[in-house]
A and B are shown apart, each in its own frame.
Chain A
Amino acid sequence: MVMRLPRSALLWLFLGLSTVLLGGCATTGALDTARQYYRAGNYSQAEAALGEADITGKDRVLILMERGAIRQASGNYDVSSVDFVAANDELQRLETYSLSKGAASMVVNDRVQSYLGAPYEWTLLHSMTALNHLALALWEEAAVEARRTVYTLRPEVRRSYPDIAFARYLAGFCFEMIGDYSNAELQYKIASSLMGPCAVDENTGRISWRKYTVTNETIPSLLPISERLNICPESNGPVLEQQREYQGDHELVCFVLVGDSSLGSDFEMSSPIVEHPPYVEFYQNGNYLGRSYNLTDTRRLAGETMSIDALGKGIKTASRIAVKEGIAQSLDRNGSPELALLTRVILIGMLERPDERHWVTLPRWLQVARVRCSGSLTNYDIVVKDAYGGTLDSRTIISPISKTYGTYVSILRIKP
């Protein structure tokens, strides 16, 4: 039996659907505006722009993540943590799959479903929260987030998604700060195994370049410093002189967050051009303390996640197009070719678009510097350099600098 629907009913359906779908555009606009302000460094305006977004809707998790990162960048670590914790609570609530939204996503697109984030975003959400706690010298709270981080990285939870060196290192550091040295060593060891050119001393948490012996190669002068410094003195090529690091009796651990997670096209994501990140040199009273090392590139994480999810998403997209085509063909059989054409235009032409939502204000390069310093650290100087040693920026940092026993902890945000 073929169901015949009157044209007026279909027209109302079209108008209702359009209203519902267009209503979500306000949130997208607010997010885009906030992200533009964030990239320009106008954090207060970015936060204000997010005030217009619907924080109770399907993008609640995304808005909380973005706002939390913006607040963190502007130094409001306590309210940033509130947002991050709320995002985590919402993610736990969303563990229950909504049948109604799932059904709607088979007729419209995946954007009607609540934003769940990618597995690497779940982990880094805890890492960002831990950084807030470290900035406020809340060591036990940071350790709570470290345990949550480790839980999300367990093989049975993470499954085939990539492990994250920065999250492991940060978790290890949080355990070290509360005196849980055995767990700290374990996390440092895992982080070290994930860091390509760098290695972590699991006993001290210090980071250094791995040493590779090269026998018959010369060093191209255009290689980034990171790769040139890998060469052992025994190799045939010239060796760069490294700056002598200051040997103070205290330690400064600085977590450097560089850039943002704007993604390129699908092509760019599937064939990423290797980009060498900038790095930061640290100075105290004119003494060179050391530099930061890149542990994680979130764009690479996004690309790997996209590759893993590609098959499932492809199958769902194909099924959804088949459903939409079925609806259009049903209208055709009903004797409504105009409505069938309109349905195809709207459902397939306009509404069939990929869900590209992701956490943009998540920093792209996540770096750590662990250097010796003197015990009277109230501020320190940084020089931001590109991968080839060219100076990009320099300034003096006075906060946040928290301290426990012989260790100072700080967080830096570097714009791309």
Chain B
Amino acid sequence: MFKKYMGYGFIMGICGVALFSSGCAMFRAKTEDVSVDNMQHMRADYDATDMRKITQEMVDGILQWPTIAANTNPPIMMIAGVQNRTKQYVDTKNLTDRMRTLLLQSGKVQFVNAERRDELLKEQGYQAAHATAATQVAIGKQLGASYMLTGSLTEMSESTPNQVRVSKTQLNYYKLTIEITDLETGLIAWTKEVEFARSLRIPLIGW
């Protein structure tokens, strides 16, 4: 009886080795390019797909704002930053950079480079001291922004309460709020919220 089981075990062992060494795709690492429009969510957390979606929605809203849509002279804005108020390490500059790129590409908004002011002044100072008069840029010709873009990304999350179960569901809700403030009057000239939520079911028992 034991020899019979030993025989079965031997055969299964041979099959296992054959399977592993045959290069079965399931056991090999694989890389492939993925279209950014077809990325899948791996978790309930904020990810690249969410960033692309909410920034596009926000930019569409800004471009419909009458001050911009009907204005033949594109207003000048500066970006003061979007505050991360989530439980994740979110690169909010990534988010504002994308919005700035989309708005600039529309041709309806101009931006001053507020983050590079120190470098700009340093370069201008250098040119004033060392560059030829013909190639020097004029000092004091920088344009002032009329509007300031700020915002915040917030998160609220819930998970299923303690109970006897084999899986746990986690629900994450995110809201991006962007406001555009008139730098002269201090009034909030425009604001919009874009929200989304996603749930994830996590198995509590695995191998």
A-side residues, CB < 8 A to B, are: 6, 85, 95-100, 140-141, 143-144, 147-148, 151, 156, 159, 178, 180
Contacts and interface: CB of A to CB of B under 8 A. Distances in A.
A143 B89 CA distance: 10
Nearest to A180: B85
B200 to A, nearest CB: 11
Contacts of B205: 96-97, 99
Interface of B: 2, 83-89, 155, 157, 161-162, 168, 202-207
A144 B207 contact: no
Contacts of B86: 144, 147
Contacts, number: 41
Contacts of B168: 95
Q: Which 9 A-B pairs have the closest CB atoms?
A: A96-B206, A147-B87, A148-B87, A97-B205, A96-B203, A140-B84, A100-B207, A99-B207, A97-B204
Nearest to B167: A96
Nearest to A6: B2
Contact of A141 (B85, B89, B206): B89
A95 B87 contact: no
Contacts of B2: 6
Contacts of A151: 87, 157
B204 A156 contact: no
Nearest to A85: B89
A180 B202 CA distance: 32
A156 B202 contact: no
A98 B203 CA distance: 10
Contacts of A140: 83-84
B202 A96 contact: yes
A156 B89 contact: no
A238 B74 CA distance: 75
A85 B88 CA distance: 11
Contacts of B203: 96
A94 to B, nearest CB: 10
A159 B84 contact: no
A388 B155 CA distance: 47
Given A95-B204, A147-B87, A156-B162, 5 more contacts: A96-B202, A96-B206, A98-B207, A151-B87, A180-B85
B87 A98 contact: no
